Structure formats: structure tokens, C-alpha cells
């Protein structure tokens, strides 16, 4: 089980993580939370139902990683009509999408914080089927964010990044990207089992 998710009875998943892996996952998840930003919590005395009808942004984020996490719903190209449709769709969906991504990342942090370390500092993380889905969402968001920062495209999936020399400053992020991919792949396999 070391470092890879395995299915557990009842539809969940488990993975053994060492102390360093726990710290890396937690740190990356906290950074993702900071990138996504805080939620819009209702102000005291404000109608809590008003938040349900609050409109979100209509423009794509300027940060490439956020733009990857919150892409336009339509490839608007040169069409004003499609640009308007994409802006309207974003306005009514992005806040909910941000909240879900924030909840997924928080689920990772909370699960890691609840671990009881073994003698070597590592621990076995056991997830329910629902928690596994949240973890899958968070792992995907982490990989998308890191992949964007590393300029990984859909066409090359990393290419030369896999052969970086150890002294390249991008090497730790490439290693994290690959490791998260392995975690994500084995978690998908356990959910499909």
C-alpha cells in the first residue's frame, strides 16, 4: 500500500503516507486554498438566501492556473454571442465551482490533520467513498495548477520536464506533479473497482 491507494471494503480507499508525503500534500492543498481564495460568507445580519443568488465574476481569471481551474464554458473565439454566453455562464456558476474546489481541498487538509502518526511519522489514511471523490477532485485541481505553472500542455503531457537535471529549480514541482498523478490514478482505480 505504500504511496498508492488501495480499495477498502465498503467502497473507500486507503494509502500509507510517510511524514514528508503528508507535509507535501498538506502544503500543496493549503496553497491551492490560497489560490482559489476565500468564500463569500454571509455577513452577520445579512439575508443568508441572498448569497444563493449572488452573481459571480463574468470575466475569466487573469492568473493562468485559475483560468485552468475555472475555464470558459464555451470556446468563444471571435463570436460576441458566445463570449456573452460564456460570461453569463461564469457569472452564475463560478462561485459554486469555487466553493466545491475549496471544500475538496479543505477535506484533504482535514483528513491529513486527523491522522495519527506511527512511530516513523507516517500514517495510513482511510477514506470513505465520498471522501475519496473529494480527494480525487483536489488531486485533479492540484495537478492542473502545477501543470499550468510548469507549462505542461495537453499535447505533450510534460515532454522534456521528465528529463530535467536535478539542479533545475522546477524539478521538485515536476516530481510533485508526477507523484500526484500516481496518487490520482490509483485512487481512480479503487473507485472503479
- Provide the pLDDT for residue 83: 80
For residue 151, give every residue at least 6 positions away whose Cβ sits within 8 Å of its Cβ, in sequence order, or none.
none
181-to-35, 141, 150 alpha-carbon distances in Å: 20, 11, 14
Q: CA 99, CA 9: separation in Å to the nearest integer? A: 30
Half-sphere exposure of 180 (CA within 13 A, CB side): 25
pLDDT of residue 116: 85
Which three-class secondary structure state does DSSP give residue 7?
A: strand
CA distance 18 to 15: 10
What pLDDT score was predicted for residue 1? 42
Taking CA atoms, 103 is separated from 134, 137, 176, in Å, by 8, 10, 22
| pLDDT at res. 79 | 80
What's the CA dihedral at 99, 100, 105, 110 to 10 degrees?
90
2 CB neighbour count, 10 Å cutoff = 10
Nearest to 29 by CA among 187, 135, 121, 173: 135
pLDDT tens, residue by residue, 47-94: 666 655 567 777 888 999 999 999 888 776 668 888 888 888 888 888
pLDDT < 70 positions in the chain: 1-2, 39-54, 76-78, 154-159
Write the DSSP assignment of 77-145 as a string of letters: TT-HHHHHHHHHHHHHHHHHHHHHHHHHHHHHHHHHHT----TTS-EEEEE-HHHHHHHHHHHHHHHHH
pLDDT for 156: 60
Contact call for residues 137 and 101 (beta carbons, < 8 A): yes
Amino acid at each position: 500500500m505504500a504511496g498508492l491507494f488501495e480499495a477498502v471494503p465498503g467502497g473507500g480507499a486507503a494509502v500509507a503516507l510517510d511524514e514528508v508525503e503528508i507535509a507535501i500534500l498538506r502544503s500543496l492543498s493549503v496553497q491551492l486554498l490560497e489560490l482559489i481564495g476565500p468564500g463569500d460568507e454571509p455577513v452577520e445580519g445579512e439575508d443568508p438566501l441572498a448569497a444563493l443568488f449572488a452573481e459571480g465574476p463574468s470575466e475569466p481569471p487573469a492568473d493562468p492556473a485559475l483560468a485552468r481551474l475555472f475555464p470558459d464554458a464555451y470556446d468563444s473565439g471571435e463570436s460576441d454571442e458566445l463570449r456573452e454566453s460564456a460570461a453569463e455562464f461564469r457569472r452564475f456558476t463560478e462561485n459554486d465551482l469555487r466553493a466545491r474546489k475549496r471544500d475538496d481541498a479543505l477535506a484533504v487538509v482535514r483528513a491529513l490533520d486527523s491522522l495519527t502518526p506511527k512511530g516513523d511519522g507516517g500514517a495510513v489514511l482511510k477514506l470513505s467513498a465520498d471522501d475519496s471523490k473529494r480527494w480525487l477532485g483536489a488531486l485533479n485541481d492540484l495537478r492542473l495548477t502545477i501543470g499550468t505553472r510548469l507549462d505542461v500542455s495537453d499535447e505533450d503531457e510534460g515532454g522534456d520536464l521528465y528529463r530535467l537535471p536535478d539542479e533545475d529549480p522546477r524539478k521538485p514541482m515536476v516530481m510533485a506533479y508526477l507523484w500526484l498523478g500516481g496518487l490520482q490514478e490509483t485512487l481512480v482505480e479503487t473507485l472503479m473497482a
